Amino acid sequence: LNCNTDLSWYDHVVGCGIEGAEATSLSRECCRDISIDETLPKMVKQFASVFNCDVV
């Protein structure tokens, strides 16, 4: 999950074999800086909910 990533590294990759497809990040899509520290607790909570498990 790209939170706030230098997307220039993806300029040399054809994602999923789709020509012209671009990588993106949460920061780019939300038009604000989003850190891993902000994202991780929400992702862990959602993961635990979807997979019905306790994350330790």
Q: Give the active site residues.
A: 16
CB 23 within 8 A of CB 13: yes
How far is the C-alpha of 38 from the C-alpha of 6, rounded, in Å? 18
* Residue 47: closest CA among 8, 6, 15, 1: 1
